[in-house]
Chains A and B, each alone.
Chain A
Amino acid sequence: MMQTIFFVFAAVAVGAAINVLVQKHVMYSALSLILMLTAVSVLFILLRADFLAVIQVIIYAGAIMVLFVFVIMLLNLPQDEDGADRLWWLKFLGIPLGLFFLFLVIATLWNVESSVDTRAGISGSAGAIGHSLFTDFLLPFEATSLLILIALMGAVVFAKKDL
């Protein structure tokens, strides 16, 4: 049963990721990315990381992607512009090389033995993550709050019309 869920949502994630590349209009790419994020969130639930799964939907699919969609609507972009692409032939070299790289990675990872036993092990609850964040990882936690503040100021400054 869990293998069925894994395969279904893995297929949805890969299909949505490929759709991000294939679509011409960037709005469809953004919407496919939202689908991929929710599929990966379901995979997090399968890995017993329920807090992270809902946090991924709230923050990634619910806030970051809204920002992307908002900017795409605001800029009112036309279809993907063609022309000025001198390296169009690189696609035909890159994709086979990429697939070969993927084949190497899969060959390496195929024999990784241990199965993820979901009836034992860690519980990815909010309490466990919070405890770890505030004891072992306190310094990175405070550093990320500073990072967000700097990113906030940076975004406001860059998007202003007149500095």
Chain B
Amino acid sequence: MIEYLMDSEFLLLLLKIIVIFGGVMGALAYLTWLERKVIARVQMRPGPTRVGPFGLLQPIADGLKFLFKEDVIPTNANTFLYVAAPVVSLIPALLSFSVIPFGPSLQITDLGVGLLFIFAITSLGVYGIVLGGWSSNSKYPLMGAMRSSAQMISYELSLTLSVVGVLLIANTLSLAQIVVSQQRTLLGFIPRWNIFLQPVAFLVYVISAVAETNRLPFDFAESEQELVAGWHTEYSSLKFAMFMLAEYANMVTVSALATIMFLGGWAGPMFGPALLQTALPTVWFVLKVGVFIFFYVLMRATVPRLRYDQLMKFGWKFLLPLSLANIVLTSLIVAIAAS
């Protein structure tokens, strides 16, 4: 890993960083638009339509609004932690984009332990919620923070264990290699995506990912009907915008991980002239990630929230044993097939 960091060409790296980071930030802004539109259509109303055609300038209007709002810091809040919490939430959320392969050569860095790096970084994102809730010195944020921290560390277990099956098949922790290992075909025409080889792991991963990113039906941290706004109750203006950006960035990260590990990443049918072919893998990747994000937003619009103890019971007593059984079964099959 040290050799890679020392040898890479600096300008190409800088260009990749600018392209990926710029693209991701633009995508996060328009994800808010997509979410509002989809939820609105599910609820049979039009959604934002006034600001620009189809409401496409709405995220820009929202950004400006966040910029100009009054920045309130509660009197008894712990000021240093209160201001640091959104930053602690946002930095890990954006950092995980540095190892995600958006295309065959559009990846900022390919770490040998890339997958574990993403899990390490998302487990540091828990602190943003915990600190935000605790430093606000108010009862609703504290409850949201405590619920969320217990939920996130519980579902981190089934999240990481569910991908061990994929790792047993791909034999590597590097994300680019996992994508490359899915480029063969099963039975001649079905692509060898891990969703066909590990369906149970895929289901466990999707459920754990929704719980890990605090989205409905697992958004106990910010359950609007119970806690006023959960851990970000006392936040306003840009700090709140940072929390929201971090939540959407986490969503995109777990969706990107799901496509890389289960749907073959940037692989897809190639056609057209050579110039189109260099852009086509990224297009396929973005489309597959878009499928997951659409599914996320649709779940938010349709599925109700359960109870907190049902969530914890489900995570510890069902998902964890299921992913462990999946690991045992997969390792048996891999060991038998290898001999």
Tell whether A and B belong to one assembly: yes
**Number of residue pairs A-B, CB distance < 8 angstroms:** 76
Q: Which residues of B contact A48 (CB under 8 A)?
A: 1-2
Q: B111, A58: Cβ atoms under 8 Å?
A: no
Check B116 against A54 for contact (C-beta < 8 Å).
yes
The A contact surface, by secondary structure, is: helix
Within 8 A of B (CB), among A39-94: 45-46, 48, 50-51, 54-55, 57-58, 61-63, 66-67, 69-70, 73-74
A119 and B81 alpha carbons, distance in the complex (Å): 41
Cβ of A34 under 8 Å from chain B: yes
CB-based nearest B residue for A1? B6
What's the Cα separation between A156 and B121 when bound, in Å?
28
B120 contacts A66, C-beta separation under 8 Å: no
Contact B123 A50 (CB under 8 A): no
Known: A69-B127, A69-B149, A70-B150. A51 touches B113 (CB 8 A): yes
Taking a contact as CB atoms under 8 Å apart, the answer to whether A119 and B120 are in contact is no
Q: CB < 8 Å: which of B1, B6, B142 contacts A73?
A: B142
For A67, the closest partner residue in chain B by CB is: B153
Contact A27 B119 (CB under 8 A): no
Given contacts A73-B134, A73-B146, contact A51 B153 (CB under 8 A): no
**Is the C-beta of A126 less than 8 angstroms from some C-beta in chain B?**
yes
Chain A residues in 8 Å Cβ range of B156: 62-63
Which listed residue (B2, B111, B123, B145) contacts A62, Cβ 8 A?
B123
Binding site for A on B (CB under 8 A): 1-3, 6, 81, 111-113, 116-117, 119-121, 123-124, 126-127, 130-131, 134, 142, 145-146, 149-150, 153, 156, 160, 173
Give CA–CA (A61, B123) in the complex, Å: 8
With both chains docked as a complex, state the minimum distance between the C-beta of B141 and any C-beta of chain A, in angstroms: 11
Contacts of A70 in B (CB 8 A): 130, 146, 149-150
- Beyond A69-B130, A118-B2, whether A57 also contacts B146 by CB under 8 A is no
Q: Decide: A57 and B112 in contact? CB cutoff 8 A.
A: no
CA distance A125 to B134 in the complex (A): 38
A33 to chain B, nearest CB (A): 12
The distance in angstroms between the C-alpha atoms of A61 and B124, with both chains bound, is: 7
Task: Name the residue among A2, A46, A50, A54 with the largest chain B CB count within 10 angstroms.
Answer: A54
On chain A, the residues within 8 Å of B113 by CB distance are 50-51, 54, 125-126
Q: Is the Cβ of B2 less than 8 Å from the Cβ of A55? A: no
How far does the Cβ of B7 sit from chain A's closest Cβ, in whole Å?
A: 11
In the complex, A152 Cα to B186 Cα: how many Å?
43
Using A34-B127, A66-B130 as known contacts, list a sample of 9 further A-B pairs with CB atoms less than 8 Å apart, ordered by residue number in A.
A50-B112, A50-B113, A51-B113, A58-B116, A61-B124, A66-B149, A69-B134, A70-B149, A118-B2
